[in-house]
Amino acid sequence: MKNNIKVSIIVPVYNSEKYIKDCITSLINQTYQNIEIILVNDGSTDSSLDIIKSFKSDIIKVISQDNKGANIARKKGIDNCCGDFVMFVDSDDFISKYTVEILVDYLSKYKIDVIHFNQTNSNFELKCNNYNFLNNEEIQQVLITSKKFNSLCSALYKKSLFDDINAFDYNISYAEDYLVNLEVLSKVTSMLLIDKKMYYCTDNSESTTRSKNINRILKNFDELIFVYNKLFEYLNKWDINTTDNRKKVFNTILDVTRIFIYNILRIDDLNKKEFINIMNQYLNRDLYNKIREEFNLSDIDNSIFYKIKNINTLKNIYNKNYKKIWKIRYFLKIKDMIRG
C-alpha cells in the first residue's frame, strides 16, 4: 500500500557547483523507491547544469529556466511533477537516505496533509519517536509565534495543497518560504510534527541570510516587512485578529528586527550618519508605527537594543557601534511592556 505513494522531490538550482553533487547523490540513494527528482536549473552561470546532466537516472527530470528565483523554480517543479506528495530540498543541502521512507511510513499510518521534520547542521537523528498532531487552529498559532515554518524544506506536503496558490508569484527572495507556508498551511486540517533530524543544512557563507552587503540586507528588510503585513491580513482571514495574537506577532517582528540590526552593525564601512538614516527610514514605517499606536507607547524605546549588549558574540559589535546605537532610540518609541 505505501509503495503506491509517489513522492516528488523538487530542487531549485542556482550556481551550486560546490554542493549539487552531494545533494543529488543523497536523493537518488533514497531507500524508498517510488520517487522522482525534479531539478530546476534557475539560470545558473557556473557548472551546475553540467554536473546535473552527468547523473543518468530514470527518476531525474531536468528543467531549465532563466534566473527567476527559487520560488518560481519551485513552482515550475510543482507544475511538472506527478507525485502524490512533494518535498523541497535546496541545492546546497542534502537529506538522510531514509528520509522519504520514514515519511511515507507515517503517511501509511495516518491521514495527514503535511509532515514536518527537523533540520540539522551536525548529525542526523532518526531514532526519536516523539510526534505531535496539529489541527488548523494550532497550526495558525505556530505560524504566528514560531520559526518552525520558515522553511519549505522541513516538510512533506500533499501536492494538491499547492493548487491555486498565489504566494509563489511574489517577487521576493527573503522569507519567501514562510509566505508560501502561510497560504498552503491555511488549507491544512491535520499536520504531523515528528522530532527527527533528517535534513542537513550546509553552512553556506554565500547565503542570502548571511550577507554583509548593505543593499541586500535592506532589500531583505523590505521583503520581511511585506511578509509580516501579509501575516496581519491572515489574522483577519482566520478571524483571530485579537490583541493577544497581534502582540505575539509584534514580539516576533521585534526579535527579527534585532537580527537585521545586528547584520547592519557588522558592516564596518557604514558610518554613523548612514546608520541613523537607515534606522530612521525603516523604523518609522507603518508596520512599526502600528506597534506604537496599538500599545500607546511614547517613551524612548529600548526593546530592540536591550539584548545586544548582553549577548557575548555581539559585545564587540555593540561596543564599537555604541554611538550609532544610542541615537536610534529616539526613533523607536516601543517599550518592553509589549512583552506582557
Contact 23, 94 (CB under 8 A): yes
Q: 171 and 215 share a domain?
A: no
Q: 292 and 312 share a domain?
A: yes
Lowest mean pLDDT among 200-204, 224-228, 276-280, 302-306: 302-306
Q: Which residues of 206-226 are buried (b: 16+ CB within 10 A; e: fewer)?
A: eebeebeebeebbbbbebbbe
Q: 86 and 111 share a domain?
A: yes
Q: pTM value?
A: 0.84
Query: Could you tell me the residue range of the domain that residue 20 belongs to?
Result: 2-200
Q: Around 218, how many Cα atoms within 13 Å sit in the side-chain half-sphere? A: 13
The residue with cell 516523539 is 130
For the chain, what is the mean pLDDT?
83
Q: 279 and 168 share a domain?
A: no
CA angle 311, 317, 322 (to 5 degrees): 100
Please give the average per-residue pLDDT across 200-225, as a whole number.
77
DSSP state of 170: S
Q: 221 and 176 share a domain?
A: no
Lowest mean pLDDT among 143-152, 177-186, 261-270: 261-270
Q: Of 67-71, 88-92, 148-152, 328-332, which one has max mean pLDDT?
A: 88-92
Q: Around 117, how many Cα atoms within 13 Å sit in the side-chain half-sphere? A: 30
- Alpha carbons 158 and 110: distance in angstroms, whole number: 13
- Give me the amino acid identity at 178: Y
Lowest mean pLDDT among 95-99, 157-161, 294-298: 294-298
- Alpha carbons 324 and 333: distance in angstroms, whole number: 17
Pairwise pLDDT comparison (319 vs 21), residue with the higher score: 21
206 in any annotated domain: no
Q: 327 and 237 share a domain?
A: yes
Q: 173 and 217 share a domain?
A: no
Q: Which of 156, 177, 200 is the last residue of a domain?
A: 200
Q: Which of 173, 200, 227 is the last residue of a domain?
A: 200
Region of residue 144 (left: phi > 0; alpha: psi -120 to 50; beta: else): alpha
CATH number at residue 145: 3.90.550.10
Q: 166 and 273 share a domain?
A: no
pLDDT tens digit sequence for 277-316: 787 788 778 887 787 777 655 432 444 444 444 444 444 4
Q: 196 and 68 share a domain?
A: yes
Cell numbers that stand for 297 in this block: 507607547
- Alpha carbons 93 and 16: distance in angstroms, whole number: 10
Q: 321 and 268 share a domain?
A: yes
pLDDT band at 97 (very low <50, low <70, confident <90, very high): very high
pLDDT band at 2 (very low <50, low <70, confident <90, very high): low
Pairwise pLDDT comparison (132 vs 248), residue with the higher score: 132
27 in any annotated domain: yes
Contact 37, 27 (CB under 8 A): yes
Q: 260 and 147 share a domain?
A: no
205 in any annotated domain: no
23 in any annotated domain: yes
pLDDT tens digit sequence for 106-149: 999 999 999 999 999 888 888 888 899 999 999 999 999 888 89
Q: Which of 151, 166, 200 is the last residue of a domain?
A: 200
Q: 61 and 175 share a domain?
A: yes
- Alpha carbons 221 and 280: distance in angstroms, whole number: 13
39 in any annotated domain: yes
Does pLDDT of 33 surpass 80? yes
Lowest mean pLDDT among 24-28, 262-266, 315-319: 315-319
219 in any annotated domain: yes
62 in any annotated domain: yes
189 in any annotated domain: yes
Cell numbers that stand for 241 in this block: 485578529
CA 153 to chain centre: 8
pLDDT of res. 335: 34
pLDDT of res. 290: 80
Q: Give the chain's domain count.
A: 2
Pairwise pLDDT comparison (248 vs 324), residue with the higher score: 248
